[in-house]
């Protein structure tokens, strides 16, 4: 799996996808930090994190749209199936490669709390909680995008569907207030990314929220593995 992971990671930069994602992410996050904190003389790091995932749901599909869709379009997926690795290893290699690119971008933003600490006090638990929440949230978003990519060979369709799902899940708690169908509002609130993420930005480490993100990500990766295995045997 290590060799496949390295191959996937390398493809992000040979295809320029990694550079494009990092440029967009760092550019927008830099603007958010500059306008929301520096120019407004606001030392509250929550201002930055509260806007960050709104950015991520727009650009994370850039990382995931090509994971399987490109392989199908280029007819290289059959070659991948002949490698001595399991379907789960194929899925995990692609997942961790995308997660690594995300981590590279988020790592650069750790300088922002350090900058704020030069001018005041930064809440450590809020900062750590926010980064933990962002990592869990991004992992689930990547798992969603990867699963969608398994289903289609069109990268644009994969990106559009992934973005639509993320947007609906992000706004699920707001949508639930307009529904009167029994149990559906409660279900939407439970699946709301915004509701499950918000406690992290307050420095609250709720095990239920952590389990939500990890279990949903693991389930989607498992489903993706089953679909890849089915296509492999077909």
Q: Could you give the CA distance from residue 32 to residue 72 in angstroms, rounded to a whole number?
A: 37
DSSP state of 82: T
* CA dihedral sign, ordered 159, 162, 165, 170: negative
Q: At what angle do helices 17-33 and 87-108 cross, to 10 degrees?
A: 40
Q: What share of the chain is helix, strand, coil (3-state, %, to 5)?
A: 80, 0, 20
Mean pLDDT, rounded, for 214-227: 94
Q: Which residues contact 18 (CB under 8 A, 6 or more apart)?
A: 12, 101
At residue 191, the pLDDT reads: 82
At residue 26, the pLDDT reads: 92
At residue 126, the pLDDT reads: 84
The Cβ of residue 35 has, within 10 Å, a number of other Cβ atoms equal to 13
In the chain, % of residues over pLDDT 70: 93
Mean pLDDT, rounded, for 121-129: 83
At residue 194, the pLDDT reads: 82
- Residues 193-219: tens digit of each pLDDT: 888 888 887 778 889 899 999 999 999
pLDDT at 148 over 70: yes
pLDDT at 234 over 60: no
Q: Could you give the CA distance from residue 52 to residue 58 in angstroms, rounded to a whole number?
A: 10
pTM score of the predicted model: 0.90
Mean pLDDT, rounded, for 147-156: 88
Max Cα-Cα span within the chain: 61
- Residues 19-73: tens digit of each pLDDT: 999 999 999 999 998 988 888 877 778 778 878 877 888 888 888 888 887 777 7
Q: How far is CA 10 from CA 4, 40, 62, 167, in A?
A: 10, 39, 16, 29
CB distance 203 to 129 below 8 Å = yes
């Amino acid at each position: 799996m290590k060799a496949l992971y390295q191959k996937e990671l390398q493809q992000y930069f040979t295809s320029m996808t990694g550079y494009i994602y990092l440029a967009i992410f760092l550019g927008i996050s830099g603007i958010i930090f500059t306008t929301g904190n520096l120019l407004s003389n606001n030392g509250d790091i929550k201002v930055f994190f509260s806007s960050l995932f709104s950015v991520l749901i727009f650009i994370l599909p850039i990382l995931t749209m090509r994971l399987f869709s490109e392989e199908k379009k280029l007819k290289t997926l059959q070659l991948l199936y002949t490698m001595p690795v399991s379907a789960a290893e194929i899925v995990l290699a692609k997942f961790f490669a995308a997660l690594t690119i995300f981590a590279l971008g988020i790592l650069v933003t750790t300088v922002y709390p350090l900058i704020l600490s030069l001018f005041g006090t930064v809440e450590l638990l809020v900062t750590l909680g926010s980064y933990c929440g962002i990592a869990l949230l991004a992992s689930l978003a990547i798992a969603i995008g990867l699963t969608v990519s398994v289903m289609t060979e069109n990268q644009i369709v994969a990106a559009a569907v992934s973005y639509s799902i993320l947007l609906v899940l992000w706004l699920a708690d707001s949508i639930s207030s307009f529904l009167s169908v029994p149990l559906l509002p409660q279900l939407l609130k439970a699946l709301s990314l915004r509701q499950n993420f918000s406690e992290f930005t307050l420095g609250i480490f709720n095990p239920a929220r952590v389990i939500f993100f990890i279990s949903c990500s693991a389930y989607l990766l498992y489903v993706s593995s089953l679909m890849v295995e089915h296509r492999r045997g077909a």
